[in-house]
Amino acid sequence: MALICELDEQWSFVGSKARQHWLWYAYNTKTGGVLAYTFGPRTDETCRELLALLTPFNIGMLTSDDWGSYGREVPKDKHLTGKIFTQRIERNNR
């Protein structure tokens, strides 16, 4: 069975807000579990790292917000964007 995953990133800082650190992760909408995560800057390269970690899984659809890296890096035929598709993962970001 193909999985549906929500993608998101969240930031924190160490010492000062100028030293931002980003967590990128993929959330399984069926189980509520995290399938993969990576840490890195908010760049296309880090997005590609996260997507590479998802290759062992049978992903049918990926959903995300409108952050540009997702639009550039996630295959168009498997990608839905918009806040309505990321409600579960956004609720988890606390």
Closest to 63 in 3D by CA, of 30, 16, 18: 30
Q: What is the pLDDT of residue 70?
A: 96
Q: What Cα–Cα distance (Å) separates residue 80 from each residue in 11, 48, 94?
A: 23, 17, 23
| 29 neighbors 19 (Cβ within 8 angstroms) | no
Q: Model-level pTM?
A: 0.86
pLDDT on residue 1: 77
Which residue ranges form the domains of the chain, and what is each CATH number? 3-92 (3.30.420.10)
Q: Is residue 50's pLDDT more than 90?
A: yes
pLDDT reported for residue 2: 83
Q: What is the reported pLDDT for 14?
A: 81
Give the span between the Cα atoms of 54 and 38, in whole angstroms. Answer: 11
Tell me the two tokens of residue 50.
Answer: 């996260």
d(Cα 11, Cα 30) in Å, to the nearest integer?
25
